[in-house]
Amino acid sequence: MTDLRGKTALVTGSVQGIGLAIAEALAGAGARIAVHGLAGDAQIHEVCDHLQALGSPQAEFFDGDLRHPDRIAELMEAVAAWGGADILVNNAGIQHTAPLAEMPRDKWEAILAINLSAAFHTMQAAMPGMAERGYGRVINIASVHGLVASKDKAPYVAAKFGLVGLSRVAALEYATAGSKTSGGVTVNCLCPGWTETAIIEPQIEARAKAHGGDRDAGVAELLAEKQPSLRTSDPSEIGALALWLCAPVAHNITGVSIPVDGGWTAQ
């Protein structure tokens, strides 16, 4: 098991879904967790207590509106004062679907800001400290849509393709930081396909209803067009992969984009 005791991880969008699953995996390995996301006080306390129960020595919430660089700077300054991020997971993201000709301008700007520009700002703030310490992990949650496109998702696809490119540049710039012993500084993308999160549940339920309530049949129909395995991923599987990338043994895995997509991008 990867030992992250003494390490601090900032996971954006970590109050639910994939972000929470990654935070859970890192907490279980002993990392302090800087929690971030859109949530009320009760949910924040619940998440922080939950992560500490899993093994994190500290889990605290840090606020920051990722649409605004000044707010991101304040977020990163607060995390730096807390000890600085040894592990940075850029997970927060939003989506809006519409044909290119009908995509609202404000949706384009918001999706690019949160899904791409925010990662630039957090990485710019965190990575010099990682290099000084000789250990750092940046794990950017891209998407299968950072590798292939789909209709009606112009800003999302543009942002995720951009995130893959940004990650490759950062991986090259920091490739010599640290050592095999210290673990080095790596930057990678995880590219999930269909994953069991709240955002897809209404689609699953609608398909299952057409199959007499058979949820597995509903999932298979939903995935049939693109994900050959016909199986969704569980967020905990993404968390397990993120945790493994944090191990010192992964010091030479950098600049890659790993699909977790049941064969989607193999077609």
What are the DSSP calls for 183-241, one per residue? -EEEEEEEEE-SB--GGGHHHHHHHHHHTTT-HHHHHHHHHTTT-TT--PBPHHHHHHH
Helix, strand and coil content of the chain, in percent to the nearest 5, comes to 50, 15, 35
pLDDT band at residue 203 under the 50/70/90 scheme: confident
Yes or no: say if 135 and 84 are a contact pair by the CB < 8 Å rule.
no
- 77-85 average pLDDT score: 97
- Active-site hit among 156, 161, 194, 264: 156
pLDDT of 226 strictly over 80:
yes
Yes or no: say if 137 and 87 are a contact pair by the CB < 8 Å rule.
yes
pLDDT of 111 strictly over 80:
yes
Q: What's this model's pTM, rounded to 2 decimal places? A: 0.95
> What is the overall mean pLDDT for the chain?
96
- 196-217 average pLDDT score: 88
pLDDT per residue over 123-168, tens digit each? 999 999 999 999 999 999 999 999 999 999 999 999 999 999 999 9
How far is residue 57 CA from its own chain's centroid? 22
User: Is position 156 annotated as part of the catalytic site?
Assistant: yes
* Continuous segment of H or E residues that includes residue 136: strand 135-141
- Domains of the chain as residue ranges with CATH: 8-193+234-260 (3.40.50.720), 198-232 (no CATH)
